[in-house]
Structures are given as C-alpha cells and as structure tokens.
Structure 1
Amino acid sequence: MKMKPWYEQKPAVHEHHIFGGSNRDKSEAEGLKVYLCLEHHISGKEAVHNNAELMRELRQDGQRAFEQNHTREEFMKMFGKNYLEETNEE
C-alpha cells in the first residue's frame, strides 16, 4: 500500500490493523495493516484511534489495496462494508 505523508512522519513503532475488531484476523491475513508512530496510532489528536476522518481515509486505502487483487464483492463479503461508497469510486 502506498504510504501517505501522515503515516510516515515519525519512526513507526506500532502495528495497526486497518480493519480491527472482528475483522482483525482478516486484516492480518490480507496484510491490511500499517506501522505508525505512537502519536499517529493512539496518543495524538491526529491518531487514527482519535480521528474518525483519518480512520476513514486509512480504511479507504485498505480497501483500495485489497481491490488490487480482489473484487469489490469479495471485499464486501469479507469486511461487510464498502468504505469507498462515500467517495463514489468504482
């Protein structure tokens, strides 16, 4: 997955599964995870766990990465939601 500038601003120390909760194992199996510094993972105001917009952006990036080798239908079946519908992407 192509990294965005906010992903790589500081040394990465935490593994973040893009699709967590009940989808964490699927995220792990598909390699849908990124490595973030503490500030961008959980502690800062721009942390994905504290910033819904950044979490949404990360999930959209994860879906795009998945769809490079799979269909949208496969994504929907596996993760139960289309994170790209808000951007009207195909």
Structure 2
Amino acid sequence: MMTKAEQDILKVLMADEKKWTWMTLDRMLSIRGLGGVGQVPRYVAKLAEDGMINIVEGNKPAMPFYVITPKGRAIVERLISQSDDSVSQSD
C-alpha cells in the first residue's frame, strides 16, 4: 500500500518535469502545504523499487534527480480519477 507521502511525491513529480532532488522536492511539498515529509530519500527509494520513479545520477552523488515513470504517471492518474469519483458521489 502506498503512503500519502509517496502519493504526494508522485503528484509533485508529475506536475512539473524539472530536475527534482530530495531537497527541492521536500521544499515543494512544504510549500504546497503537504508538510515537507522530511524523509524524501527513503520514500523515493521505495517508489524507485516499485518502478514508479527513476533515480538519475546528477553532478553530485548525494543529490540524484528523481523522474516519474509511465507506471508512476498511471498511478497518479488513477488516484486523481478516484478522487474525482468520490467528489461526484458526494454531490
């Protein structure tokens, strides 16, 4: 089962195609009011294991980039669809 933090990370990665590092991703989560999960490297390692993101080496070994995969995009689209369905059912 995917945690809320993992879902939020995927949503941020899908919303903006820039090169995300753990630091910039944590900052964006905080800016969006998602609390800045503080454990981004742990969460992205799990997402990478599950094939939802790729971890790409950057100039600094301690600061790789995170990129959402097609599988991750499909998950986000499903989450958004489920969210939309639950909103329309409560109308």
Q: TM-score, normalised by structure 2?
A: 0.28
- The one of the two structures with greater contact order (alpha-carbon pairs below 8 A, sep at least 6) is 2
User: If each structure's helix is expressed as a fraction of its own residues, which one has the higher value?
Assistant: 2
Larger Rg: 2
